[in-house]
Amino acid sequence: MYGPRVRECSRLSRRAVLGLTAAALPLSTATSAAAATVVGGERLARAGVQVRGATGLPKKLTAHSWLVADCESGEVLASFDAHRRLAPASTLKMLFADTVLKKFDRAERYRVTDADLADIPAGSSLVGIKPGLTYTVEQLWQGVFLRSGNDAVHVLSHMNGGIAKTVAEMQAKAADLQALDTHVVSPDGFDHKGQLSSAYDLTLFARHGLKDPGFRAYCGTRTADFPAGGKKTFQIQNTDRLLTGAWGLKTYDGLIGVKNGYTSHAGNTFTGAATRGGRTLLVTVMHPDAGGNAVYEHTAALLDWGFTHGRSAQPVGLLVEPLSEGGASATPAPTPKTVQAAAGVPGSASGGSAWRIAEGAAGALALLGAGAWTLRRRRARTAGAPAADGAEPRGGHRR
């Protein structure tokens, strides 16, 4: 359906959770201690750079968080504050696609109404959808992946039963993927209080999405013709600069996709995947201090490292498998109520080694020996709010 099928990232049969770390109980029982499972491995819970058996990591990386992983094996080759919770911007659209993409046939047609576009946040990036026009599902997804169009996201969300239903389904999907740093407020990734994710979780979303040929085809599409009414069309270009070479940046050899994001609060975020010599690597970079091309330059440098020095790296963690596909978990499978309860309290600012305890089974993190399951939520240092750098396309629209 989308041309020659490329080899998908394979699943692992190994345990999804590698390590244990101590978690503090409430002050009233401070003398008691319990072990809590760390998703992806104990080293990923540590602050700072994590790497074993390899040197040559790029210098002057200013991102607040980043991660390099092998797509096929799921092994994390190197990371920096992998579970730090930060605003994801439009990289959250990967989770939206993971949740909704398979629900509609790409040839299905939909006539857009005013109501479908009424709840789009002011300042959003837009692909240019107009009420009264009919679009195919394929065209809507092109609007999502190429232009990061919040209008396309909202139309698809209304097709899916509404914004609230879609958000709940995305949160449940995150729980199934064991992406426990993620709290979904809106399906488009726009700036909303409490909307958070992490480099680890975004990499999970990308890896899961790339198993689907439609997801893979959309995120790798450079240009497409988009309806303008009647028989008229206009061309849209992918905003992934490593894919298109826009804004003076060289294209990255072997790049597959995946998704970029930008808001004035989040700054720049990006998850990229590339294949060289039969090996596919995933890199996520969140919130570099510099704007412009920095997020792409960081990504390219980390991909280069992974394809060279990273070949000798010993894994410091693992991208876990979804619970629905046999991924190991320390807790029972989450229910919609526990998912919503767990998602309702985003983490607060703190250092990389601090933890927050909140009730609920949806987190798949359990305190053992305390007589009840509890959810450990990660604290994250408060992210800075880089100002818009003015170099983003579409006149300051947020992606």
Is there a catalytic annotation at residue 32? no
Burial class (CB in 10 A: 0-12, 13-18, 19+), 127: buried
Are 58 and 66 in contact, with CB atoms under 8 Å apart?
no
Q: Which among 65, 79, 90, 125 is annotated as catalytic? A: 90
- How crowded is residue 238: how many other Cβ atoms within 10 Å of its Cβ? 24
Crossing angle for the helix pair 163-176 and 93-100, nearest 10 degrees?
A: 90
297 alpha-carbon distance from chain centroid: 19
Q: Report how far residue 22's alpha carbon sits from residue 28's, in angstroms, rounded to the nearest whole number.
A: 17
Q: Which residues of 378-398 are buried (b: 16+ CB within 10 A; e: fewer)?
A: bbbbebeebeeeeebbeeebb
Map residue 251 onto helix, strand or coil.
coil
Is there a catalytic annotation at residue 93? yes
Q: How far apart are the first and last CA of the chain?
A: 29
Q: Which among 93, 173, 259, 329 is annotated as catalytic? A: 93
Q: Which of 270, 281, 271 is nearest to 309 (CA)?
A: 281
Is there a catalytic annotation at residue 90? yes
Q: Which among 65, 79, 124, 148 is annotated as catalytic? A: 148
Quote the tokens at residue 218.
């959309």
237 DSSP 8-state letter: E
263 alpha-carbon distance from chain centroid: 15
- Helices (H), ranges, 263-353: 294-307, 336-343
Active site residues: 90, 93, 148
